Amino acid sequence: MPQYILALDQGTTSSRAILFDRKGRIVAQAQKEFTQFFPKPGWVEHDPQEIWSTQAGVAAEATVKAGQNGRSIAALGITNQRETVVVWNRKTGKPVYNAIVWQDRRTAAFCDQLRTEGREEGIREKTGLLLDAYFSASKVRWILDNVRGARRKAEAGQLAFGTIDSWLIWNFTQGELHITDVSNASRTMLFNIHTLQWDDELLALFDIPRSMLPEVRSSSEVYGHTKTTVFASKIPLAGIAGDQQAALFGQHCSEPGMVKSTYGTGCFLLMNTGTTPVPSRNKLLTTVAWQLNGQVHYALEGSIFMAGAVVQWVRDNLGIIKTAAEIEALARQVSGTGGVYFVPAFAGLGAPHWDPYARGTLLGMSRATTAAHIARASLEAIAFQTMDVLEAMKTDSGLPIAELRVDGGASANNLLMQFQADILHTTVIRPRILESTALGAAYLAGLAVGYWASPDDIQSTGQLGKVFKPKAGLTATTEGIDGWHRAVRAVRAWSQDG
C-alpha cells in the first residue's frame, strides 16, 4: 500500500488538509472556511469548536478523496495560525471563550501600560518579541480577567491554554496530549527563546498560572497517535510548526541568510539566522524557526498584517472585483497608480513600524482615479510593505539577500511578483507548489518517522517554479518607493495626532 504524509494547515480564515507523496507532490486536498467574529472594533474571534470540526472534516475528506484510509498515512503534521489562543476546561474539553485571534487589538492599552512601566526591554531580551497585543500572553490574561470564574478555575488547575496546534492535538488525542512545539511557544511572549523554557517571571507579569501551559516539544518527533474516529486507524502525530516557520522549512530555507515571504492573509517574512538568535535593532522579531534532531534554528521575522486581506477588502468592501483573481487583470488596465498610494493599515502597521494606531488610508486620488488605479495601488502596497521589512532584515543580519522565495495565495499574482522583484532589485522565486506551509509540516512529520531519511533527502523533491528577474533602470520604480515612504509618514502622522 502506498504511504503518504497528511499535513493539516489550520489558517486564519480556513482549515485545510493536504496529502503529499514522497516527491512532495499533492495527492489530494480539502479546504473549508469558517466564521470570523468581530464583536467590537479591533476585536477578532473564532469559534474553537468550529476550528476543530472543520479541521477534522477536511482531514477525513482529503483522505477519502485520495481513495485512502488511515493505514496509508505514515504520519500527520500540523501547522497553524500563530499567537491565536484558546482556553478550555481540562475536564469537559470545552472552551471557556472564543479563540482570540492574532489580529485582535483589545489588549493594546494593557501593552501600552507595561511599556510605560519599562517592561518592554526585559520582555524582548527573553522572548525576542516586541511588546504588542499581537502575541498570546495578553490575550490569555484578558480571558482570565473577563470570563466569569475563569481565573479561579485556572488557579485551581482546571483550565488549559494553548495555541491552535495544542487545541487540535488535544482533540485528536481526546485529551491525552497537551503539547506545543518550540516555534509556537516562542510566539506566546511567555517563552524564553534562550533557555527554551516557560519563563516564571513572564508568567507572573501576565498573571498566568503555569498549570495552564502545554508541554514544549521539538518540531519533529512522534508525540503520540490519533485517538479519534476521524481515521480508520491510529496515525502518528509527528510534526508541529507555526505556519510561517513551516513555510520557511517547506521552502528549503535551511541556511543562514535564506529568506521566504508568505503572502497569506498577512505577509510574513522570515530569514534563517542559523543556530544563534540575532537581536533586532529595527523592530523585527527574533523567533525560533524549528527544533530538529536536537538542534534549534532561529529566524528574524517581519510581520505585515494586511496582504491577501487587502485583495479581500477590495473585493468584499469596495466591490470593484468579484473574485480575488480578477484584481490582476483590473490592475493591468493601467500602467501605474496615477499617483495613488494605499497604506492598508486596517489593523495597525506591523514591522518595521509597529504602530498599532495607524489606520488604512488611500492618498493621492484625483477625479481621474479609477478602480484600476486603486487595484494597482492595492497590489503595490503589499510589495512596498515587503520591501520595508527586507531592508530592515539586511541591516539587522548584515547578510545580503540574493533571492526571495515566495509562497501563499497572493504569490500567484504575476504582476505583484514582478513588481516585487523590481523594487527589491532581487530575484523572486515562486515554487512549483505554493503550499509551502503545509509542505513544511509534512516534511517535519515525515522526517520524524523516516518517510524521508534526512533534510538532504527532502531537498531532492525540488520545488522550483517561476523566476522573476528585476527589470533594470526603472525611474518610475524609484519615484514610487519615495512616494510610498511619504504615504507611510502621512498615515503615521495622522495616528499620532489622534
Residues annotated within the binding site for glycerol are: 82-83, 134, 243-244
Q: Give the position of cell 495626532.
A: 497
What's residue 463's pLDDT? 63
Taking the C-alpha atoms of 373, 374, 379 and 384 in order, what is their torsion angle to the nearest 10 degrees? 90
What confidence score (pLDDT) does residue 462 get?
A: 61
Q: Could you tell me what percent of the chain has a pLDDT over 70? A: 97
pLDDT at 461: 62
Q: Where are the domains of the chain?
A: 4-234, 252-430+465-497
pLDDT score, position 178: 97
- pLDDT value for 454: 84
Binding-site residue numbers for ATP are 12-14, 265, 308, 312, 409
Q: What is the pLDDT of residues 322-351, one digit of tens each?
A: 988 899 999 999 989 999 999 999 888 887
Q: For domain 252-430+465-497, which CATH number applies: 3.90.1150.10, 3.30.70.100, 3.30.420.40, 3.50.50.60?
A: 3.30.420.40
**How many other CB atoms sit within 10 Å of the CB of residue 133?**
25
Say which residues have a Cβ less than 8 Å from residue 396's Cβ, sequence separation at least 6: 278, 279, 280, 281, 282, 284, 300
**Which residues make up each annotated binding site for ADP?**
12, 16, 265, 308, 409, 413
Binding-site members for sn-glycerol 3-phosphate are: 12, 82-83, 134, 243
Q: Is the pLDDT of residue 498 over 60?
A: no
CA distance 350 to 165: 24
In the predicted model, what is the mean pLDDT of residues 295-309? 90
Tens-place pLDDT, residues 170-229: 999 999 999 999 999 999 999 999 999 999 999 999 999 999 999 999 999 999 999 877
444 or 454: which leads in pLDDT: 444
Mean pLDDT in the chain? 91
State the pLDDT at residue 68: 67
Please check whether the two domains, 4-234 and 252-430+465-497, share a CATH topology: yes
Numbered residues of the known binding site:
12-14, 16, 82-83, 134, 243-244, 265, 308, 312, 409, 413
- Cα separations in angstroms, 251 against 19, 258, 417, 442: 17, 10, 17, 12
The helix or strand, by DSSP H or E, that contains position 147, with its residue range, turns out to be none
Burial 19-32 (b: 16+ CB within 10 A, else e): bbbbebebbbbbbe
Q: How far apart are CA 279 and CA 299, in angstroms?
A: 10
4-234: CATH number: 3.30.420.40
Supply the pLDDT for residue 487.
Answer: 94
C-beta separation of 413 from 328 below 8 A: yes
pLDDT at residue 303, as a whole number: 83
Q: Is the pLDDT of residue 434 over 60?
A: yes
Average pLDDT over residues 288-295: 94
pLDDT at 70: 64
Of 313, 266, 316, 247, the C-alpha closest to 103 is 266
The letter for the amino acid at 208 is I
